[in-house]
Chains A and B, each alone.
Chain A
Amino acid sequence: MDIHVENAIVADHSKINRVYFLLTLTAPNCSIMAKPGQFVHVRIPRLDGAVLRRPFSIFDVVGDQIKIIYKPVGKGTDAMTRLIKGDSLSIMGPLGNGFPDPAEGRLPVIVAGGYGAAPLFFFASRSLKKGIAFLGGATSQDIILPDRFKKLGWKIKIATENGSMGTRGLVTLIFDEWLSKNGKKNEFECYVCGPDGLLKAMALRALKHGWKAWLSLDKHMGCGVGACLGCVQRIKLANDTEGWARVCKDGPVFEASQIIW
């Protein structure tokens, strides 16, 4: 059987700043197989009346542990904040397709919005090539991992909408500045995760200029394995046709030119 449902044990659970939580789970099966860009489908304990699991990108894998970064935004993630060391929870995964490596000779360029930086950090940590990471968010609280990227030897550029860290403005602003000076089409590939607006903005740039951008999509998911067809995204298919892709199974990473917005 090649998909694992595993009882993971909470090894550590802490706040990394005022907003975001870092959950470390001991999950030997999942951790050995996890690839950057994949996610785990978590059954949140003590969440009465829930029928669905919640998908979380994998932020890091260390030994037999996987790490998840999340922000409480609803019933499920609120209940998650109450997890304590030693708690057991059922996880499914790793699921989905991860980020591919950039083509030979191309620089990996990360563009992250908020906790979109989480799966991209995992990507950066496994990438043979060190690249550049553009990290954006509403406030400095949303720039969650700058030091970790730096430690990997990546260059980082930061933008916040309120100007509390880095350049004031959207992350696309600092990306565009870099693009106008350095961004030659066949020399880099983009890796993007964040709000839909950011994904779309980056996809439009990629199409306009002809470089590759790998987007990690975030949708409400049901089964997580491609059965329920709840998390679909319109994409281009062969022969100029279009159809639905399952974000959980066919994604969550798609190349920008595939997506129909």
Chain B
Amino acid sequence: MVRKLNIKEPDLSVKIGKVIMKNPVMTASGTFGYGKEYSGFFDIDEIGAVVVKGINMAGSDGNKPPRIVEVTAGLVNSIGLQGPGVKKFIDEYMPFFDKYDVPVIVNIWGKDIDEYVQVASCLMKIPRVSALELNVSCPNVKSGGAAFGTDEKNLSKLIAKVRKVTDITLIVKLAPNVSRIADFARICESEGADAVSLINSYPAMVIDVDRRRPVLANKIGGLSGPAIHPIAVKLVWEAASAVKIPVIGIGGISSVKDALEFIIAGATAVAVGTANFTDPLISLSIIAGIKDYLIRHNMPSIKSLIGSLST
């Protein structure tokens, strides 16, 4: 059944800002811990990049439990950005990556612009940090959330300020719940961001009908998983059509087909999130699946697939 093929080892490498990734598959922030948690399953150098859980300046306790609830084809979470704070992160979590080569992208957030700037300044001094991903779209905390991700002026100011203090690759993670995603992507590009990633989880709510109360202690959370994938594909396509900087497609990837949709829609890379919980080895099967797809379609490089959508 195997067709005779010209391409044996297609080139899967992509570039996001200054970061060269050996393949386009990364992990979505918040679903892969700080890398270490999944290093027992496979060699994390096999994936394109690790995006670690969101880091702020002072550290954060997150929200009260219950923090997660499964819904049909998805998960609603309200973790609330629990994290150790940037100093502890640098001292206790970053050294783990010394024995790996995989690019490390640190997702950062703050209660105001100053905090983002402070965190970025601390992290840019750490050589092992390859890029920063500005979280302007967490649905679970008041700050670091809608204040930036859904307000064009605030977003523009934030990116400009962070851009000033750091020359490492800057990715902005966008919120899905805006009326014109293209406008937000364009702001990121014009303020000097190197890439945009989207989407973050979609604001959502689940009610316990017997108790007539919200299931999550935080009342609302963010929906992730296969349920949001078609929404994400549409937004990634719109964003990628609007800007020249790379777009990273995130949202409900649970198969190679899901990842390919993002890439064909214009994403240079993709990030796997909730599916890590279902199958910790899924990134590896997606990488293998993309390679297989390129071979079957006689494409020497992933670059010919990016944005290849005919409409």
Please, which residues of chain B bring their CB within 8 A of the CB of A50? Answer: 70, 278
Q: Which residues, 208 to 261 on A, are CB-close (under 8 Å) to B?
A: 219-220, 222-233, 243-244, 249
Q: Tell which of B53, B65, B277 touches A53, judged by Cβ atoms closer than 8 Å.
A: B277
CB of A230 within 8 A of CB of B79, answer yes
CA separation between A2 and B41, bound complex, in Å? 7
- Does any Cβ of A come within 8 Å of B97's Cβ? no
- B62-104 contacts to A (CB < 8 Å): 62, 65-70, 72-75, 77, 79, 82
A228 touches which of B30, B40, B279, B281 (Cβ 8 Å):
B30
Assess whether A228 is in contact with B79, with CB atoms less than 8 Å apart.
Answer: yes
Cβ A220 vs Cβ B69 within 8 A? yes
- Tally of chain B residues near chain A (CB < 8 A): 37
Given contacts A3-B41, A223-B277, A244-B61, contact A228 B72 (CB under 8 A): no
Residue B208 lies at the interface, judged by CB distance under 8 Å to chain A: no
Shortest C-beta distance, B252 to chain A (Å), equals 9
Name the distance in Å between B75's Cβ and chain A's nearest Cβ: 5
Q: Which residues of B contact A139 (CB under 8 A)?
A: none
Name the segment of B31-39, B159-167, B184-192, B303-311 touching the other chain: B31-39
Number of A-B contacts (CB under 8 A): 98
Contact B77 A1 (CB under 8 A): no
B143 within 8 A of partner (CB): no
Closest A residue to B59 by beta carbon equals: A243
User: Which residue of the partner chain, among B61, B75, B280, contacts A5 with CB atoms under 8 Å?
Assistant: B280
Complexed CA–CA distance, A249 and B36 (Å): 12
Q: Please, which residues of chain A bring their CB within 8 A of the CB of B30?
A: 228
A190 to B41, CA, bound (A): 34
| A230, B67: Cβ atoms closer than 8 Å | yes
Decide yes or no whether A51 CB sits under 8 A from chain B: yes
A53 touches B79 (CB 8 A): no
- Asked if B65 contacts A223 (CB within 8 A), the reply is no
A124 within 8 A of B: no
Q: How far is the CB of B255 from chain A (nearest CB, A)?
A: 13
The residues of A that contact B278 with a CB separation of less than 8 Å are: 43, 50-53
Q: For B53, what are the chain A residues with a Cβ–Cβ distance below 8 Å? A: 227, 229
CB pair B279 A223 closer than 8 Å:
no
The minimal Cβ–Cβ distance linking B49 to chain A, given in whole angstroms, is 16
Q: Does B137 contact A (CB under 8 A)?
A: no
The reply to whether B41 and A52 form a contact with Cβ atoms under 8 Å apart is no
Query: Is A90 part of the binding interface, using a Cβ–Cβ cutoff of 8 Å?
Result: yes
In whole angstroms, how far apart are the Cα atoms of A223 and B65 in the complex?
15
What are the nearest 4 A-B pairs in CB distance?
Answer: A227-B33, A3-B40, A230-B68, A227-B37
